Structures are given as C-alpha cells and as structure tokens.
Amino acid sequence: MESSNYWCYGCSSFTINSNYRCIHCGSDFIEERNHSEEMQRIDENLNMLQTRLSILVSSIQQLTERIGNIDAKHPLSEERIASLERAHVSGTCSICTEDQSESVASVLLSCGHSYHENCITVWLRIQGTCPQCRKQV
C-alpha cells in the first residue's frame, strides 16, 4: 500500500491512507490530495487574512485618533485659570453640589456657568472645558 496524503472531512486534517480510514478519527470520509497544492492555497488565504488584518488595524488606529481628537483633554494653564472672570453669584456649584454664596466670588465661565474657584480649578487643570456643557473655556 502506497502512502499518500489524504484530507479527512471528519476531523478536517491531513492523514495517510490506512485501509481507507483516517488515522486520527477513524472516519472513512477521506479524499486524496496533493499536499503542496493545499499548502499553497493555505498560504494564499493566510496572506489575504494578513492583508485584511493590516487594513483593520489601520482603520482602528485612525478611528482611535479621531475619537481622541473629539474628546481631547486640553488642560488650561495656571495663568489662564487665574485670568478667568470672578463674580458674586447665587446658585449651586454643579461640581460639589453645594450652594454658592454671594459673599464669596465664584469663577464665571464664558458659557455662563459658575463654580466654586477650588472646584473648577481642579477640573480645568485636567480638562479645558465647562463640566456642564463641554464648551471650550
């Protein structure tokens, strides 16, 4: 009996003919195949998958950059924070949810929202937008 390459449809693997049965799973659903042609087809499929993966990775990187630019954190400098308008207002600071006293100046942003100076300073050192409406300060 000559030893040839066979493809077993039962376990999806190459095998040798052993009385017309797969040596791995015992299935008799086998077909003689040219191993080098099969390897060439597998290599072609692998190259195609690698190309698709490369395109996918590139697309994900581009999307990540776009998303990062949409919600980019641009902290304000200490000088810019110090130059913001102060006003005596009544209301609630939406950062700490405590009342703003008219006797103590609060920071008034260009969008019209106001906050305790200590509350908004911490925020603006991290993110240069209004915490409520996200307008750039």
Q: How far is CA 123 from the centre of its chain?
A: 25
The pTM for the full model equals: 0.48
Strand runs (DSSP E) across the chain, as ranges?
5-8, 13-16, 30-32, 85-87, 91-92, 99-100, 106-108, 114-115
Q: What is the mean pLDDT of residues 96-120?
A: 89
Least confident stretch, 15-29, 59-73, 123-137: 59-73
Distance CA(116)–CA(86), nearest Å, equals 10
Structure tokens at 61: 């990187």
Q: How many domains does the chain have?
A: 2
Domain containing 117: what range? 78-124
Specify if 107 maps to a domain: yes
Cβ–Cβ < 8 Å for 129, 136:
yes
- pLDDT of 72 reads 53
- pLDDT of 67 reads 66
Specify if 45 maps to a domain: no
Whole-number average pLDDT of the chain? 84
Specify if 112 maps to a domain: yes
CATH of the domain at 92: 3.30.40.10
Specify if 64 maps to a domain: no
Residue 119 has pLDDT above 80, yes or no: yes
